[in-house]
Structure 1
Amino acid sequence: MTVERTNLGRMTTFVLIPGGGGDAWYWHLVEAELTRRGHDVVNVDLPADDEKAGLREYADVVDAAVGERTDPILVALSMGGFTAAMVAARRPVSAIVFVNAMIPLPGEKLEDWGEATGQSAAQREQSVREGRDPDADFDLRAAFFHDVPADLTEYALSHDRDQSERAFGDRCEFEAWPSVPIRVLAGRDDHLFPAEFQRRVAHERLGVEAELVPGGHLAPLSHPVELADRVERS
Structure 2
Amino acid sequence: MTATTPTVVLVHGAFADAASWSGVIAELQGHGIPVLAPPNPLRGLASDAAYVASVAAQIDGPVILVGHSYGGALITVAGVTENVVGLVYVAAYALEEGESLGELQGRFPLSPLVGNLKEWTYPTPEGGSAVEVTITEDAFPSVFAADVPADVTKVLAAAQRPLAAAAFEEKAIAAAWQTKPSWALIAGADEAINPEVERFGAKRAGATTVELAGASHAVAVSQPKEVADLIREAVRATA
**TM tier, smaller:** 0.7 to 0.9
Which of 39, 42, 45 is the aligned partner of 2:36?
42
1:192 equivalent in structure 2: 192
* TM-score, L = length of structure 1: 0.78
Aligned to 1:97: 88
Q: In structure 2, what is the Cα distance between the partners aligned to 1:196 and 1:110?
A: 14
Does the Cα contact within 8 Å between 2:178 and 2:205 map onto a contact in 1? no
Aligned pair 1:56/2:46, yes or no? yes
**Matching residue of 2:209:** 210
- Give the unaligned 5+ runs of structure 2: 113-137, 235-239
Partner of 1:15: 9
Structure 2 counterpart SS, 1:63 = helix
Shift of 1:83: 0.4
**C-alpha contact 2:98 2:173 (8 A) present in aligned 1:** yes
Aligned residue in 2 for 1:27: 21
Single out whichever of 214-223 and 75-84 deviates more from structure 2.
214-223
Paired amino acid for 2:44 = G
Q: Secondary structure at the match of 1:210?
A: strand
Matches within 5 A, 1:1-234: 11-21=5-15, 23-48=17-42, 53-66=43-56, 67-116=58-107, 118-120=108-110, 123=111, 139-174=139-174, 177-195=177-195, 198-203=198-203, 205-208=204-207, 210-213=209-212, 215-234=215-234
Q: Offset of 1:104 from its aligned partner?
A: 0.5
Question: How many matched pairs?
Answer: 207
Higher fraction of strand: 2
Aligned to 1:133: none
Deviation, structure 1 residue 228: 0.9
Which amino acid in the other structure matches residue 166 of structure 2? Answer: R
DSSP 3-state at the match of 2:106? helix
Bigger CA drift: 101-110 or 22-31?
Answer: 22-31
Please give the alpha-carbon distance, in whole angstroms, between the structure 2 residues aligned to 1:197 and 1:163. Answer: 19
Amino acid at match of 1:206: A
My pick for the range that moved more, 99-108 or 178-187, is 178-187
C-alpha deviation, 1:8, in angstroms? 10
1:22–1:89 distance in 2 versus 1, CA, 3 Å: farther
Quick one: structure 1 residues 23 and 82, their matched pair in 2 at CA, closer, same or farther if it must change by over 3 Å? same
Preserved CA contact (<8 Å) 1:72 1:95: yes
- In structure 2, the CA distance between the partners of 1:218 and 1:175, relative to structure 1 (3 Å rule), is closer
Residues 125-152 of structure 1, C-alpha deviation per residue, up to 9 Å, x if partnerless?
Answer: xxxxxxxxxxxxx922111111012332
Cα pair 1:119 1:193 within 8 Å, conserved: no
Closer, same or farther in 2 for the Cα pair 1:212/1:45, shift >3 Å?
same
State the Cα deviation string for residues 164-215 of structure 1 (Å, max 9, x = none): 1132232111156343321111123323345455334422x22346311362
Measured against aligned partners, the alpha-carbon deviations of 1:26-57 in whole angstroms (never above 9, x if no partner) come to: 21221122122211111021112xxxx32222
Normalising by structure 2, report the TM-score. Answer: 0.76
**1:190 partner amino acid:** D
Alpha-carbon distance in 2 for matches of 1:201, 1:178: 12
> Which residue of 1 is the match for residue 117 of structure 2?
none
Say if 2:79 and 2:176, in contact at 8 Å, map to a contact too.
Answer: no
Q: Which residue of 2 aligns with 1:132?
A: none
Alpha-carbon distance change, 27 to 8 in structure 1, aligned in 2, over 3 angstroms: farther
